């Protein structure tokens, strides 16, 4: 009898796709969660997000016995310094994103994540001396023209989109400099933010403006869940990245901003303005050129290996 069960490699790839889709799908649906707390101060939400991510990451590392990676990172002053920088960037990204979602600017957040791959390529040029092919230059110029064109069309540049794109791309670039796994790094970053986040929660409580432990169990549970909501997609992402090529992970990344765009327009009824049409049109053109160039370059490399 023929054995039709999937080979280990196929099972691994299937698991990789499931985990990657879990990560990117979760990030695409983030607005649905953060909007449940739209009446709260974005600063309070951010403080609790940091605070409750710590025990989730600690539990994940305890179960996987990976605390050695945390100790190794903390033993290096250079690593701690760069993690402090990545902490600043990710806290900026989280803060702007939460604020954008809770005040009805999901479309701008979507634009930021569509821009992110192109800004990451630009970061590679500036920070790592990577050479760009002509198609990559064309993609970056298309995106830049889209942002500037929208600014000219409506007299306003999307600072939310740019902040989200540059903070997230900068975060990725800094983390690329370090040999620190995702979850141990996230634990250290949130620990570095612990004094500020704990102080913020205490301040909100002391002034009577805080929502935590004020008798609304639903709000308390949502704030507590913010740590799990933050860490779980990261665990999915790490699992997917271990099983799939980075080029595949890069292409699947577009699920996140696409989901945000659909939520903004179809669920939250945000208006697509003339400026948005200009911006997204050129950004999508840039991404199409960028994706085609990656595909073409990969095919050339495969042919060279075959020969």
Concatenating the DSSP letter of every residue in 76-126 gives -HHHHHHHHHHHHHHHHHHHHHHHHHHTT-HHHHHHHHHHHHHHHHHHHHH
Say how many C-beta atoms besides its own lie within 10 A of residue 205's C-beta: 15
Structural domain boundaries in the chain: 16-306
The Cα–Cα gap between 110 and 127 comes to 25
Q: Give ∠ CA 191-196-202 in degrees, rounded to 5.
A: 115
Per-residue pLDDT of the chain (307 residues; tens, 9 = 90+): 334 444 446 777 888 889 989 999 999 999 999 999 999 999 999 999 999 999 999 999 998 888 899 999 999 999 999 999 999 999 999 999 999 999 999 999 998 898 888 888 888 877 777 787 888 888 888 888 877 776 666 666 778 888 999 998 889 888 888 888 888 999 999 999 999 999 999 999 999 889 898 878 999 999 999 999 999 998 888 888 888 876 677 778 888 999 999 999 999 999 888 778 888 888 888 888 888 887 787 677 666 655 5
Whose tokens are 């701690």? That residue is: 80
């Amino acid at each position: 009898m023929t054995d039709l069960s999937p080979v280990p490699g196929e099972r691994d790839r299937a698991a990789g796709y499931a985990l990657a889709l879990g990560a990117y799908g979760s990030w695409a649906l983030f607005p649905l969660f953060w909007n449940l707390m739209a009446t709260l101060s974005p600063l309070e939400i951010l403080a609790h997000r940091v605070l409750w991510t710590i025990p989730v990451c600690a539990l994940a590392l305890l179960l996987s016995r990976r605390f050695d990676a945390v100790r190794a990172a903390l033993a290096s002053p250079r690593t701690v310094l760069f993690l402090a920088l990545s902490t600043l960037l990710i806290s900026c990204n989280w803060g702007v994103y939460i604020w954008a979602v809770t005040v009805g600017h999901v479309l701008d957040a979507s634009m930021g994540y569509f821009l992110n791959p192109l800004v990451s390529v630009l970061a590679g040029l500036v920070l790592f001396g990577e050479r760009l092919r002509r198609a990559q230059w064309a993609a970056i110029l298309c995106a830049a023209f889209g942002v500037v064109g929208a600014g000219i069309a409506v007299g306003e540049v999307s600072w939310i989109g740019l902040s989200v794109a540059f903070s997230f791309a900068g975060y990725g670039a800094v983390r690329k400099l370090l040999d620190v796994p995702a979850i141990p790094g996230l634990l250290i970053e949130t620990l570095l933010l612990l004094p500020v986040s704990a102080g913020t929660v205490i301040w909100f409580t002391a002034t009577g403006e805080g929502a935590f432990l004020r008798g609304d169990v639903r709000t308390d549970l949502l704030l507590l869940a913010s740590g799990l909501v933050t860490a779980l997609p990261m665990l999915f992402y790490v699992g997917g990245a271990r099983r799939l090529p980075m080029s595949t992970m890069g292409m699947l990344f577009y699920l996140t901003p696409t989901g945000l765009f659909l939520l903004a327009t179809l669920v939250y009824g945000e208006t697509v303005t003339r400026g948005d049409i200009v911006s997204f049109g050129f950004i999508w053109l840039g991404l199409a050129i960028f994706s085609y160039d990656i595909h073409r370059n990969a095919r050339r490399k495969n042919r060279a290996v075959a020969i």
